[in-house]
Chain A
Amino acid sequence: MGTWGAAQQHGKASAPVTHRAGGGGRTWRALSLLGALPAVALCMANVMLQQRHHRPARPTFVPYHHLRIRTKPFPWGDGTHTLFHNPRTNALPSGYEQ
């Protein structure tokens, strides 16, 4: 079924094929480990740095008619909480719960 035998002995991408510029396991391995993953790490650091600032005070509740629409109760719980309801940041039509 598989022909892993020969390549297995080397433990790295060293299949004896003619070198194709821009292709090859070695190239994409390098792009992954030296490019893509460090970029993810940088973005992670960026998020952590930005979230060090104190949480901004949540906006005052204004009972706008276009927000917190409840045409029909949700089919779960008491029907008035959205699926990812966050008591701290999400107000109900009547105002914040906390």
Chain B
Amino acid sequence: MAHQAHSYHMVDPSPWPIFGAAAALLTTSGLIMWFHYSSTTLLTMGLLSMLLVMLQWWRDVIRESTFQGHHTPTVQKGLRYGMILFITSEAFFFLGFFWAFFHSSLAPTPELGGQWPPTGVKPLNPLEVPLLNTAILLASGVTVTWTHHSITEGNRKQAIHALTLTILLGFYFTALQAMEYHEASFSIADSVYGSTFFVATGFHGLHVIIGSSFLTVCLLRLIKFHFTPNHHFGFEAAAWYWHFVDIIWLFLYMSMYWWGS
């Protein structure tokens, strides 16, 4: 019987990478068909295949790790590097939108009335719902840390409670933001103010939804005994991502909601 003489994971051949690439192609070309030719067929196919690839690829990672034991400390180290690099790339993604915001708001053009917020734009009061949203995300950062300590200490009941609380706070944030989007007196089409505000907060909201989904998967795995006090990297990755989402919100709040009002 052959054994490997190293601690790395040589993954079995898998169709998900090429299918993921195909899903990306379908989605991007689908967006073009929707924007320019009013057809949603390709886009629907793209989003559906993207969802299926994600579910099956990550299901396979869980099988390889939790059930087949391929995630040695060496493999886990690689995953840690990977998640850190990914989050770093996301930070640069948001950096671009913050650059755009400061480019337009530090020197408002005459077309905007030479002021920021532009003439005719009534910004949201940063001390109402945005402040509540800040408290919600900060609180969820505390509860996710409580979750982590509970997992490390082998306290199953508290870990489940704490993670559930974290996810509920995330849902509450999303619901409040959706309501704010509907109630705002300005829209994305209202000068560069609307563009920068809704693109930056919109992508942030998408990341909150992604983070909440990641945490929900962790909750299901937690309930099904996938994690041990010493080995629970899936949860750690979700927690890192969640803290990142929180930090991006803090920058959004300070710059666009507070300084920009």
Contact = CB atoms under 8 A, between A and B. Distances in A.
A40 to B, nearest CB: 5
Contacts of B121: 67
B128 A25 contact: no
Q: How large is the interface on A (under 10, 10 to 19, 20 to 34, 35 or more residues)?
A: 35 or more
B101 interface: no
- How large, as a class, is the contact surface on chain B? 35 or more
Interface in B141-164: 142-143, 145-146, 149-150, 152-158, 162
Nearest to B125: A50
A58 B155 contact: no
B135 A43 contact: yes
User: DSSP majority for the B interface?
Assistant: helix
Given A64-B119, A75-B34, A25 B225 contact: no
Interface stretch (B20-28, B90-98, B187-195, B235-243): B187-195
B185 interface: yes
Contact of B142 (A8, A32, A58, A62): A32
B155 A51 contact: no
Given A39-B139, A64-B120, A84-B181, A25 B132 contact: no
Interface in B79-135: 111-113, 118-122, 125, 127-129, 131-132, 134-135
